[in-house]
Structure 1
C-alpha cells in the first residue's frame, strides 16, 4: 500500500507542478500580451503625432497662403476705393456744372410733334 500511496503522492505532485507550469505560462502570455499592447499603443501614439505634425504644416502653408491672398484683396480694395474717391473729387464739380447748365439754360423750341391748328 505504501507504493500505492507513494504513486498517488507522486501523481498529485506531478499534477501540482503541471498546474504551476500552466499558471506560469499563462502569466508569461499575459505579460507578453500587455507588452505587445503597450508597444502597439506607443507606435500608434508616435504615428498620430507624426500625422498631426504633417497636418499642422499643411494647414499652416494653406492658411498662410490664404492670409496672403486676404492681404492682397484688401490692398486692391483700398486702391479701388481711393481711385473712386479721387475720381469723384476731380469730376464732381464738372458734373454739377453740367447739370446746372442743362437745368438752368432754357431754350424755347417748338416740339417736333407740334401741328398748327389750321393745318391738317
Structure 2
C-alpha cells in the first residue's frame, strides 16, 4: 500500500511539474508575443518615418518648397503694387484736372418742373 501512495505522490508531483512547465512556457510565449508586437511596431514606425521623409523630398523636388513659392508671390505682389503706384503718379494730375474741370463746369439751369 505504501508503494501505491508513493507512486501516486510521484505521479502528482510529476503532474504538478508538468503543469508548472506548461504555465512557464505560456508565460514565455506571452512575453515573446508582446516583444514581437513591440518590435513590429518599431519597424512600422521606422518604415513610416522613412516613407514620409522620401515623400517630403519628392514633394520638394517636384513642387519646390513653400518658402520659395511664398517669396515668389511676395515678389510678384510688390511688383504689381509698384506698377500701380507708378500709374497713380503718372495719372494723378490729369485725373485731378478732369475732376476739377467737371466740378467747375457748372451750367446753372432751372429744374424741369420749374420751367413751365
- TM-score by structure 1 length? 0.62
Choose the corresponding residue for 2:109, options 109, 114, 117. 114
Q: CA deviation at 1:19?
A: 1.6
Choose the corresponding residue for 2:46, options 29, 44, 53. 53
Name stretches of at least 5 consecutive residues in structure 2 with no aligned partner: none
The equivalent of 2:16 in structure 1 is 23
- CA distance 1:28–1:70, shift in 2 (3 Å): same
User: 2-side partners of 1:52 and 1:77: how far apart?
Assistant: 32
Task: Determine if the alignment matches structure 1 residue 102 to structure 2 residue 95.
Answer: yes
1:72-116 residue CA offsets vs partner (Å, 9 max, x unmatched): 4x32332233233334435534423422233246435345x8349
Choose the corresponding residue for 2:37, options 37, 41, 44. 44
User: 1-side partners of 2:38 and 2:77: how far apart?
Assistant: 57
Q: Which has the larger radius of gyration?
A: 1
The size of the alignment, in residue pairs, is 109
- CA distance 1:11–1:59, shift in 2 (3 Å): same
User: 2-side partners of 1:59 and 1:82: how far apart?
Assistant: 31
Name stretches of at least 5 consecutive residues in structure 1 with no aligned partner: 1-7
